[in-house]
Chains A and B, each alone.
Chain A
Amino acid sequence: MESVNTQIQQVPKYDKTDDTIVFGFWVYLMTDCVLFAALFAVYAVLHNNTFGGPDGAQIFSPSYVLVETIALLTSSFTCGIGLISAYNMQKNRVIGWFSVTFLLGLSFVVMEVAEFSHLIHSGDSFKRSAFLSSYFTLVGTHGLHVTVGLIGMLILIIRIYTKGLTKASVRRLTLLSLFWHFLDIIWIFIFTIVYMLGFS
């Protein structure tokens, strides 16, 4: 073998580019969209099968849902403000704004659980009819996603509080924000198609 000159260069420690990770998360969000689309398709097909039970107009309360929606929308806004603070490396503001986001998100979940609970106790559970099955599952899946997001948010806030605002934390906040905005978009469609159209 002929000799080759070897130059040894020092590269900084491996740092998987944020680009790849954020892009990967975006692709995952696309798959979650298809998941919700399938649930929407099921709801669209089954929403008239009330099997003698109540239909949307009888169980939905638009004003209650409006409060939920405003809570979630506002939490999306505060999440965005929190993210700006993260890019400006302002640790305390990050914790503050994301705590507000958490509380707003939590109130959304609490309201939704209360709504479900009320329905179940008045005999209109997911077992009552195909309409109710698909309603509980579509809205419930969204609520489950929100809950997972809240848990992630809490863990992130605690980590930032104890370990400070690192580069990895900023990236994770970005992913969380993407997730949170995505959930807000799904909610817009639930709000419109399930509640608004259901009530009409």
Chain B
Amino acid sequence: MDIETPNILEDWKDHGAKIQVYIVGFAISILLTLIAFVITFYHLLSGWENVALLIFLAILQLFVQLIFFFHIGSKAQSKWNILIFLFMIMIVAILVIGSLWIMTNLNSKMMPTTKQMIQYMNAQGAAL
């Protein structure tokens, strides 16, 4: 490297690893977990809103943990870490969403359930 990066451990010691940081991070994480639990246990939501909120809470907690426990954004956490992390997230998204899209299409066309089959045939003009 042409640029001198500070020793990462010393930087964390001086900037990132402070007890207040961990306490706040811990508290928020517990809170988010409890919210998700309550929503689920008491069946407060259903359908797409349920899915969306729970996933949103999970992603929120991901950010909390990244910032408070992993010290993302601190000086020594070089831009390379963030870059590789973002690239990985992109690939993960492609893999998961892509697979879901592909497999949903494959399943409905190649291994349809009886219900799907009837729907399809009706769409073709049968009257089942």
CA distance in complex: A162, B36 (Å): 43
Q: Chain B residues near A195 (CB, 8 Å)?
A: 40
Main secondary structure of the interface of B (DSSP, over half): helix
Interface size on A, residues (CB 8 A): 48
Given A66-B33, A66-B37, A200-B46, A44–B99 Cβ distance below 8 Å? yes
Q: Chain A residues near B34 (CB, 8 Å)?
A: 66
CA distance in complex: A26, B45 (Å): 37
CA distance in complex: A189, B54 (Å): 10
Q: Chain B residues near A74 (CB, 8 Å)?
A: 26
The answer to whether A34 touches B54, judged by C-beta atoms less than 8 angstroms apart, is: no
The answer to whether B22 touches A77, judged by C-beta atoms less than 8 angstroms apart, is: yes
**What are 16 inter-chain pairs, A to B, with CB distance below 8 A?**
A18-B7, A37-B95, A62-B41, A76-B69, A87-B17, A181-B69, A184-B65, A184-B69, A185-B66, A188-B61, A189-B58, A191-B36, A192-B58, A196-B40, A199-B40, A200-B51
B-to-A contact residues, CB < 8 Å: 5, 7-9, 12-13, 17-19, 22-23, 25-26, 29-30, 33-34, 36-37, 39-41, 43, 45-46, 50-51, 54-55, 57-58, 61-62, 65-66, 69-70, 76, 78, 80-81, 84-85, 88, 91-92, 95-96, 99-100, 103
